[in-house]
Amino acid sequence: MQFGESVPDNAENQWRYQLDRFVTENKNDLAALAYGLKNEWKEKEDVLGIDLEPEPHFIRCSRQSLEDLNRKVEGKIQEILGIFDNYNQQEEVAMLAINKGQIKLIYYQSEPSPPVCFEEKESDLDSLIEELENIMKEINWY
């Protein structure tokens, strides 16, 4: 693990660096989106994801699809599933990012809390999705 602000010089790490920056710069909007969608979905175990291919967009990952993936990768994402099972959506944000056969957990405690971020956001969920996806499309992921 490398600390600091150095930009990676390879595509495998560049997208993770850019994702971290995107999350840091948009953490309240992401908290609002994650909270709002989670409350709207009937399947409470579903997880919000960001798929970077073919262009960045938000996706909904079913619990079943995540468990299937975990079996295919011989249990290597079991810890991530544990985080999704136990995080507190009133205080924390837990999402998954997907890119070319790789995944990255997005997990942080939100300040202010996700419900407050959601209440303070004056746009609806569709507008918020569009706004965040447009920001992601401007990022040089590679």
Which backbone phi and psi does 112 adopt, to 5 degrees? -70, 175
Question: Is residue 105 over pLDDT 90?
Answer: yes
Band of residue 11 on the pLDDT scale cut at 50, 70, 90: low
Kindly report which listed range (9-13, 39-43, 71-75) carries the lowest average pLDDT score: 9-13
User: Which pLDDT value is given to residue 89?
Assistant: 95
Question: Is residue 91 over pLDDT 70?
Answer: yes
Q: Is the peptide bond before 54 cis (omega within 30 degrees of 0)?
A: yes
Band of residue 13 on the pLDDT scale cut at 50, 70, 90: confident
Band of residue 10 on the pLDDT scale cut at 50, 70, 90: confident
What one-character-per-residue DSSP string does the chain give? Answer: ---SSPPPSSHHHHHHHHHHHHHHHTHHHHHHHHHHHHHH-S-TT-EEEEE-SSS-EEEEE-HHHHHHHHHHTTTTTHHHHHHHHH--TTTEEEEEEEETTEEEEEEEE-SS-HHHHHHH--S-HHHHHHHHHHHHHTS---
Share of the chain above pLDDT 70, in %: 93
